[in-house]
Chains A and B, each alone.
Chain A
């Protein structure tokens, strides 16, 4: 540790919110020291108080929040002693913050230029022309290719990734000594995220700015920070250098978190995820002693639940942990009773898409459009999709937002009808039969699990009524007593207590709602379940439990699962086969092993490289994509990926549709590059040390 005074010292910070229901202690005991130029990651699940800490550093807690204990010292001075005027100067010029939603941080009715030059003009009193050149310089520093154009643009004219770069530039223009980043890439696509993360990792080196990086994603913390602090239920529970903490997590909760992440070493059959049982306690229902106690496998009555547990150092490197039994807790991820599953036997084909196409017409009724004869244009959401799925198989469709994966789900479910091509499901042609025209049997055999836990259930009806309706509708049972019995059995299956029957959705947590959503999807004994990003809105530990549940039920029912996701690490974990989509087209498809090993499609390669992996032993090649996804209204004439492809071989990519090549009957790559060359590509992942499989 250096000798100069730390930039930021937080000591025993306690923050409470005061509501009608009384005082809610959001942060209970939080200490942290940050030196100039250092970057520290703050990890934890939602509701653990990490954003509250950031708000406290900004001294911006709303009218009902307040610091009730402890202190925050910035450059040696207590922030509580700052006057409102001094705080105004502090924010923006000394401490800057970057939020999750770049669109919400930018004023939509001002040009980006005028918002950017405001910063140096206000804080340093620069003249407009000087401020302008500073802003342009900063925009090129955040790697925006055409700063002059960006200066003149309005926020909606640039993409989400570019917006976040502008927000970062704006924060850095005030030359802050501390930068707070609150989930800065959560709203972005993976390949865009990779670029931003790269940029953030360089900021400290280039500008000497200290950073606090808040995230729920351990993989991102690993690639951006030097130290990490894990929070749980308002407390810091473990803190240390990245390498120490990732290689030797001491607190049972930290270990539990690692057990929930689908690391490359996991395997759904041999080494499944180990979810943490129970759920985060509510702030006013925290247990005595260790807050993690009720969920901990190493809990000891009379020791762990006696009194508040202090942070204690474990060694000289500054690795500290809030656990009384850390020395007894094995340093490795606990090998619980690992229930190895048997490999499934795939049955006959149940779904087959042949040349499936979905265009959305856009009617332009302007005079100019009428004259030029371009009155109708098409959003090409799906273009010649060819793939199949077999009984009991899990097929994943991966791709970034706008790649057409959800459109395919809609066509499959009958919420939309296809423009061209065929879609066979269980022997019926369904590509052009909307929901209204499908038989109850067809409807029942194809059900869906939705993405947003807060929207998947109707807030006005009880859980029992909502599941019961499905059973009645699909004619599984008709007698009210039997329906109720069946609902209760389904609640057992998704591991929810039976008294949830009478509850309403708002009394449930996100993970519980998602479980009900799964119960509802399986209520009609479906042949196939489509899961559209079912876990992307859930916390890590909850997501792991829901993932496992989904796979268990699928296995039990012998259902085919079509899993739609943008998250390759989850997909790698649970899918048997993967379809990689880009701009409405399939770029590559094959078994999970085939897709994750060369030959890759260049897009798959970039996608793999962009996945944050929370394992310091896995090294990956950095491939950062330039540019944005082209509009589906006007896709490139040739290969859709040609505009961003780092391996583009020439004009042929721009002008001709790539041919489909396969090195194996079920592995197809659509690319102009000869297969022999693609095979020679080095794998994206490389295990440096340790025992990680593959």
Chain B
């Protein structure tokens, strides 16, 4: 053993936000070794920047009707350039994409987080208590999962109406069962660890054991899954927009932009293609980040 410092009394404290930040920095340092992960981080960072500074970055008002059917690169008579062209009622596509990123980057993480909250609680309860609780929760999950996802979204939105918050509710409803299954599987394994038995034998409550002893050790696979799921949620928001179930007009919405211009896609491909590129680049970013995180998780 190394020598025992009799006099040295360090001042260890409860994990502070500073320590958590330090760990995040270290994880990021690991991520830098993964090429795919860094490309993902770059893409996401680009979109986050664009969304945050939309008023400064966007050349025009996204809802102003300026000059219909302008091709990309057209110079606007009253100053400025339509770098990505305009749509059929004359709104600048670049500005709409920039402003539209705000909605996606707000609702997608919110919906994912909400789905995770519900899914994790259900999964913890099912995996930890097992028995009747598990049978009951798994039955509900199976019923929901047996519907085609799209039908579920349409059903939920059609019932409660189209709005940002309702999109979050619909996504939570449809994805929580899948998350619950993952969490349940992880918990079924982790609950047999000796440290859980140790917590039980010192009389900890069930929720303390689930949240403090078990959940932190399931975080690796869950973080990777969350990144992938964030990508799916972006697709979903796009699809809902495309189906007219997304954010109410006239606020820019990537899926909605594709929907509005799809009939003219052959004659004016720029109207649909640029929103499509926006959606896929963001999804690609999250998927590549997930790949990078998975590499780290495997190595740990």
- A413, B14: Cβ atoms under 8 Å? no
Closest B residue, CB atoms, query A512? B1
- A502, B203: Cβ atoms under 8 Å? no
> CA of A520 to CA of B201 in the docked complex: distance in angstroms?
12
Closest A residue, CB atoms, query B215? A460
Q: Mark out the residues of chain B between 1 and 41 whose CB falls within 8 Å of any chain A CB in the assembled complex.
A: 1-6, 8-10, 12, 14-15, 33
> CA of A456 to CA of B192 in the docked complex: distance in angstroms?
11
- A460, B3: Cβ atoms under 8 Å? no
- B8, A460: Cβ atoms under 8 Å? no
B200: Cβ under 8 A from any A Cβ? yes
> CA of A459 to CA of B198 in the docked complex: distance in angstroms?
13
Closest Cβ–Cβ distance, residue B299 to chain A (whole Å) = 8
User: What residues of chain A lie closer than 8 Å to B15, measured between beta carbons?
Assistant: 462, 465
- B1, A462: Cβ atoms under 8 Å? no
B148: Cβ under 8 A from any A Cβ? no
B225: Cβ under 8 A from any A Cβ? no
> CA of A469 to CA of B2 in the docked complex: distance in angstroms?
26
Q: Of B5, B197, B204, B217, which is within 8 A of A460 by CB?
A: B217
Total residues of chain B contacting the partner, CB 8 A: 28
Whether A455 touches B201, Cβ cut-off 8 Å, given contacts A488-B9, A492-B4, is no
Question: Binary interface profile of B, 208-229, with partner A (CB < 8 Å = 1, else 0)?
Answer: 0000110011010000000000
A470: Cβ under 8 A from any B Cβ? yes
Question: Binary interface profile of A, 442-466, with partner B (CB < 8 Å = 1, else 0)?
Answer: 0110111011100111111110111
User: What residues of chain B lie closer than 8 Å to A496, measured between beta carbons?
Assistant: 1, 4
A524: Cβ under 8 A from any B Cβ? yes
Closest B residue, CB atoms, query A474? B202
User: What residues of chain A lie closer than 8 Å to B1, measured between beta carbons?
Assistant: 277-278, 495-497
User: What residues of chain A lie closer than 8 Å to B10, measured between beta carbons?
Assistant: 498-499, 501-502
User: What residues of chain A lie closer than 8 Å to B6, measured between beta carbons?
Assistant: 492
User: What residues of chain A lie closer than 8 Å to B219, measured between beta carbons?
Assistant: 460
Total residues of chain A contacting the partner, CB 8 A: 45
B193: Cβ under 8 A from any A Cβ? yes
A24: Cβ under 8 A from any B Cβ? no
Name the prevailing secondary structure of the B interface residues: loop
A354: Cβ under 8 A from any B Cβ? no
Closest B residue, CB atoms, query A434? B200
- A448, B217: Cβ atoms under 8 Å? no
- A502, B4: Cβ atoms under 8 Å? no
Closest Cβ–Cβ distance, residue B220 to chain A (whole Å) = 10
> CA of A398 to CA of B287 in the docked complex: distance in angstroms?
53
- A438, B203: Cβ atoms under 8 Å? yes
- A498, B203: Cβ atoms under 8 Å? no
Q: Identify which of B197, B200, B204, B213 gathers the most chain A CB atoms within 10 Å of its CB.
A: B197
Closest Cβ–Cβ distance, residue B175 to chain A (whole Å) = 25
Question: Binary interface profile of A, 471-497, with partner B (CB < 8 Å = 1, else 0)?
Answer: 001100000000010001000100111
B195: Cβ under 8 A from any A Cβ? yes
Closest A residue, CB atoms, query B4? A497
A436: Cβ under 8 A from any B Cβ? yes
> CA of A666 to CA of B82 in the docked complex: distance in angstroms?
97
Closest B residue, CB atoms, query A481? B11
- A498, B198: Cβ atoms under 8 Å? no
Closest Cβ–Cβ distance, residue A573 to chain B (whole Å) = 22
Closest Cβ–Cβ distance, residue A256 to chain B (whole Å) = 15
- A460, B194: Cβ atoms under 8 Å? no
Closest Cβ–Cβ distance, residue B33 to chain A (whole Å) = 8
Closest Cβ–Cβ distance, residue A199 to chain B (whole Å) = 34
> CA of A498 to CA of B6 in the docked complex: distance in angstroms?
8
User: What residues of chain B lie closer than 8 Å to A466, measured between beta carbons?
Assistant: 195
- B4, A455: Cβ atoms under 8 Å? no
> CA of A316 to CA of B213 in the docked complex: distance in angstroms?
60
> CA of A458 to CA of B9 in the docked complex: distance in angstroms?
24
21 contacts between A and B (CB under 8 A): A277-B1, A415-B201, A443-B202, A444-B202, A447-B202, A450-B194, A450-B197, A452-B194, A456-B198, A458-B193, A458-B195, A460-B216, A461-B212, A473-B202, A473-B203, A474-B202, A492-B4, A495-B1, A497-B1, A497-B2, A498-B4
Nearest first, the 4 A-B pairs at minimum CB distance are A460-B216, A450-B194, A455-B194, A458-B195
Using A415-B200, A448-B197 as known contacts, list a sample of 16 further A-B pairs with CB atoms less than 8 Å apart, ordered by residue number in A: A414-B201, A443-B203, A456-B195, A458-B193, A458-B195, A458-B213, A460-B219, A461-B212, A495-B4, A496-B1, A497-B5, A498-B8, A499-B5, A501-B12, A502-B10, A524-B202
